[in-house]
Amino acid sequence: MSTVDGVVVGVGVIITNSQGQILMGKRSSKHAPYWSIFGGHVDAGESFETCAIREIKEEIGIDITAPTVFGISNNINTYHQEGKHTVSICMHVEYNGDIEPQIMEKDKCESLMWVSPNELPEPHFEASRNAIDLWLNQQFYHHPA
């Protein structure tokens, strides 16, 4: 996990299929019952791309290649609600592999589904919603209100 003065840096990866749907996971445990894209904390010395590839393999068992950075989100609301300030590096990759994504960490995620980016399930995790909004609106930075 990377932190600077208590700020956690992570990646959030929008995984799309050939129909333009986004893969979502319903969180369990401490972040239940929120829906979210996949990702996680950047380890010290790790590139954003390496982090994304590692986290996706750990969480849903698929191999992704060449995830690209498209934005950054400063997730202030999470800080006000939970006392945890995160900055998300927002990434995208299209997945057309033969292996179907599956839940690998049942203590963190209870279900998966492909959804239209305009019909997100609720309730939705702040960092995930911010990343999807940036992607849909072709913006680079989410400025907290």
Instruction: Tell whether omega for the bond before 33 is within 30 degrees of 0, i.e. cis.
Output: yes
Question: Rounded distance, CA 18 to CA 36, Å?
Answer: 20
As a whole number, the mean pLDDT across the chain is 93
Quote the pLDDT of residue 1.
47
110: domain CATH number is: 3.90.79.10
Residue numbers of the domain that contains 30: 2-142
Domain tally, the chain = 1
- 72 close to 91: Cβ distance less than 8 angstroms: no
pLDDT > 80? residue 143? no
pLDDT digits (tens, 9 = 90+) for 72-84: 999 888 788 878 8
pLDDT tens track for 2-52: 544 589 999 999 999 999 999 999 999 877 999 999 999 999 999 999 999
